[in-house]
A = this chain, B = another copy of it.
Amino acid sequence: MKTLVIVSHPNLQESLNQQFFKEASKSLAITWHHLESVYPTGEINLNDELALLAAHDRIIFQFPLYWYSAPAHLKIWQDTVLAKASKVLQGKEFGVVVTTGVAEKEYQAGGKEEFTLSEFLRPYQRIAHKFQMNYLPPFVLAQFMYQTSEVRFERLIAYQQYLSLTGKPSLVQRINWFLEQIEKKSHFSEPQKSYLLDGLKEQQEMIEDLTFTLGELKEENE
């Protein structure tokens, strides 16, 4: 599966979230497409964009939540490209990777942000449905910089799986992917390796647990 990550962030170099994503995706066969770098003036090349979309099976919008939606650059892209993109999008997978400085639990009735992220992201969900695309549950990275290294590692793995595993993967598919990755450790980037080493003992226990769960699941299916 070929994944196109359309990134919108006005100061990519200063964003620790986006640097984390970029490092995490280095070992994967994905196309990283940062709109503000490619089109600094906001003048989008429609044909280039349509060709990019045509060449990939999973399209990801990746951005920080600015006023409860994507930064302006991604909206320029949407207003320019989407009206012409029906043929190249139909039937593909569509995901949203969103970062927020507010804790995820604030996005609910009674929370500080009042409404759920599912509600704020309705426009993207609806775009996916309009193009008969498969809308994936959004990948949310909230207050990442306050997280422990264990949580960060978990999010790194989850992000890599979000970009590279087809459809909505089952637990077994996720575990298999994880075991494969551990085996071919050479594919990990430097920050990933240091995460791995940092948490190696815990990870090994986790893998044993996961392998045990996998065994149980397999037995159940026999």
A128 → chain B closest CB, angstroms: 11
A76 to B, closest residue via Cβ:
B72
Q: Which of A116-124, A167-175, A178-186 contacts B (4 or more CB under 8 A)?
A: A116-124
* Stretch from A16-24, A25-33, A61-69, A203-211 that touches the partner: A61-69
Q: Can you list 15 A-B contacts (CB < 8 A)? A: A42-B42, A42-B72, A67-B75, A67-B123, A68-B122, A68-B126, A69-B75, A72-B79, A114-B129, A115-B122, A115-B126, A119-B122, A120-B122, A120-B123, A120-B126
Contact with B along A1-18 (1 / 0, CB 8 A): 000000000100000000
Please name the residue on chain B nearest to A115 by beta carbon: B122
Q: Are A71 and B79 in contact (CB under 8 A)?
A: yes
A75 to B67, CA, bound (A): 9
Per the bound structure, the CA–CA distance linking A73 and B72 in Å amounts to 8
The distance in angstroms between the C-alpha atoms of A35 and B123, with both chains bound, is: 23
Say if the beta carbon of A78 comes within 8 Å of chain B. Answer: yes
In whole Å, how far is A109's beta carbon from the nearest beta carbon of chain B? 12
Given A42-B42, A75-B75, are A69 and B123 neighbors across the interface (CB < 8 Å)? yes
The 10 A-B residue pairs with the shortest CB-CB distance in the complex, in nearest-first order: A68-B123, A72-B75, A72-B76, A75-B75, A67-B78, A72-B79, A119-B122, A115-B122, A69-B123, A68-B126
CA distance A123 to B124 in the complex (A): 13
Minimum CB–CB distance from A133 to chain B (whole Å) comes to 14
Max count, chain B CB within 10 A of own CB: residue among A119, A120, A123: A123
A126, closest chain B residue (CB): B68
Q: Does A142 contact B (CB under 8 A)?
A: no
The answer to whether B42 and A67 have CB atoms under 8 Å apart is no
For the complex, give the distance between the alpha carbons of A68 and B122 in Å: 8
Determine the residue in chain B with the shortest Cβ distance to A129: B114
User: Known contacts A67-B82, A71-B75; can you find 12 more A-B pairs with CB under 8 A?
Assistant: A66-B78, A67-B78, A68-B126, A68-B127, A69-B123, A75-B75, A113-B126, A114-B129, A115-B122, A119-B119, A120-B123, A120-B126
A76–B67 Cα distance when bound, in Å, is 11
Chain B residues with CB under 8 Å of A119's CB are 119, 122
